């Protein structure tokens, strides 16, 4: 799994690193729990200053895409991205509401599927 940096790109190097790691993690190509190279190592490989890579990692951590476990290094977050966490919170709220309304799990899933398919049809 390769990361590339184009010095002629209009995007600054820290953003190129951040965007590529985020895209790979969200596409599942970097599975949760994958250990990322150290800041110093990645900076050396890419010919960047360690601060540049550290900034990318900080932003990825802020977005919930990666997590830093002290001296063990940085890992792709098991909680998914910030958007995934928000979706999970919404799903939990929905499940609570279904229980309050006394609606069965099967019906709840059916409503979600219908809503999502309706959404897809609307977009298509």
Partner 1 sequence: MMALWWTLLPVAGAAFLLGILRGPGRRERERLLAAFTEGIDLPATAEVVALVDRRIRDRSVGQSAGGLAAVLAFALVLLLSPESVPLGVTGLSTMGIIVAAMAAGGGISALRQFPAPRGPDASRVARLDAPTLDDYVHPAWIWASAIGTVAAVCLAVWLFAGAVPNGPLDGGPSVAGIAALAALSLGGVACAGILSRRLLGIPQPASDERELQWDDGLRAYALRDIWIASIALSSATIVAGSSVTFSATSPGLYFGILIGVAPVVLSTLRASRRPGRRLWRNAGARS
Site residues (vs partner 1, CB under 8 A): 1-8, 21, 24, 30, 34-37, 41-47
Nearer to partner 1, 47 or 70 (CB): 47
Closest-CA residue to 52 (of 43, 64, 44, 63): 43
Q: How far apart are the first and last CA of the chain?
A: 33
Output the smallest distance, CB 41 to partner 1, in A.
Answer: 6
Output the smallest distance, CB 83 to partner 1, in A.
Answer: 21
Nearer to partner 1, 5 or 54 (CB): 5
> For residues 60 and 24, what is the distance between their CA atoms, to the nearest angstrom?
12
Closest-CA residue to 70 (of 82, 61, 79): 61
Residue whose structure tokens are 């890419």 = 46
Output the smallest distance, CB 45 to partner 1, in A.
Answer: 3
Phi first, then psi: give them for residue 40, nearest 5 degrees. -65, -40
Nearer to partner 1, 2 or 101 (CB): 2
Nearer to partner 1, 44 or 118 (CB): 44
Output the smallest distance, CB 75 to partner 1, in A.
Answer: 12
């Amino acid at each position: 799994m390769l990361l590339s940096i184009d010095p002629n790109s209009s995007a600054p190097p820290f953003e190129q690193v951040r965007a590529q790691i985020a895209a790979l993690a969200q596409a599942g190509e970097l599975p949760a729990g994958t250990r990322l190279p150290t800041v110093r190592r990645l900076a050396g490989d890419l010919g960047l200053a360690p601060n540049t890579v550290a900034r990318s990692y900080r932003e990825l951590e802020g977005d919930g895409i990666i997590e830093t476990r002290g001296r063990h290094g940085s890992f792709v977050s098991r909680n998914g991205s910030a958007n995934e966490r928000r979706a999970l919170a919404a799903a939990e709220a929905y499940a609570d509401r279904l229980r309050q309304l006394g609606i069965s799990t099967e019906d709840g899933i059916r409503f979600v599927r219908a809503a999502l398919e309706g959404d897809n049809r609307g977009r298509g």
